[in-house]
Chains A and B, each alone.
Chain A
């Protein structure tokens, strides 16, 4: 029996879809069987971030409404053996086309088959959010170090706790070490202190995210990307491994290179 994890945030544009794509890919590279579910009905995006937009035949609403079987709607990502699949969102329907009960049944069915079911949640706190969290065993709340994103994360954490989500962890995305250093950006401790929640990882701002999204290739495939490395670390933590937080700034000292060589830096 696998685990269903919802990637959520409240505020839009903080990196939920990028996080879902990268964590899913990293888990697949670790030989876990993964299915990504795009729950953002009407605004589907996970397909383009993954570079699978040309392979869609059926979508999530086709499955819940019985137009096709679940297996028919799953797109196999051929880059990762039999390890990574995508269930795309419907683009022509809206969020009311699915109910929380249907999502719960769907994730249940997927969990029977896969190790990890990652659900990409839409922004907001309305029905799309309630659908996305319905079948999840665990939530990762994505925020950026900005007042608006942290405020919305707080609201989402409150809603997740109210709905009795068993495990809720925070992912701080797009942190800029140089700004943190000069006191112009909240750092990890500031945000954890405010939100009082467990941290699953921190991802630095990285231009390579834009480049890899342009190409439809998740950044975790780029061995030199700092963000990719951070996402790979988080994927390992999801599987229960203890992985220390990587230093925020790229270090090129001799010791750091030695550490990376032995796998401590990743």
Chain B
């Protein structure tokens, strides 16, 4: 009902607090991730641990980083595979 009234009276934009919340959400993901450089190193070590159960990877070449994009923030991991382990089958 309020929405309809809002449109009738020419208020079509989202309330500005929604914009504030969305911008804060994005900026804080980045702020929090960059607070400690050890944080990414920790993730990297754990990721290597999990992946090596399934495939043979080049541990030296693993890169984990936080990428800031227009409307989202992503954790990007680049994991070079040396070879697949034969014993592991897709279930």
Contacts and interface: CB of A to CB of B under 8 A. Distances in A.
Interface of A: 146-147, 150-151, 154-155, 158, 180, 182-187, 190, 194
Residue among B17, B21, B28, B35 with the highest chain A CB neighbour number at 10 A: B17
Contacts of A158: 32, 35
A148 B21 CA distance: 11
Contacts of B20: 146-147, 186
Nearest to B23: A147
Interface of B: 15-18, 20-21, 23-25, 27-28, 31-32, 35
Nearest to B35: A158
A105 to B, nearest CB: 30
Contact of B17 (A154, A155, A185): A185
Contacts of A190: 17, 21
6 contacts: A151-B28, A180-B17, A183-B17, A186-B20, A186-B21, A194-B24
B24 A150 contact: yes
Contact of B28 (A154, A180, A182): A154
A149 to B, nearest CB: 10
Contacts, number: 37
A183 B18 contact: yes
Contacts of B28: 151, 154, 194
Given A154-B31, A158-B32, A187 B25 contact: no
A154 B21 contact: no
B31 A184 contact: no
A182 B27 CA distance: 24
B16 A194 contact: no
A147 B17 CA distance: 9
A73 to B, nearest CB: 37
Nearest to B15: A183
Nearest to A180: B17
A186 B16 CA distance: 9
B42 to A, nearest CB: 15
A146 B18 CA distance: 12
A151 B31 contact: yes
Contacts of B17: 180, 183-187, 190
A184 B16 contact: yes
B24 A182 contact: no
Contacts of B31: 151, 154-155
Contact of B24 (A147, A180, A184): A147
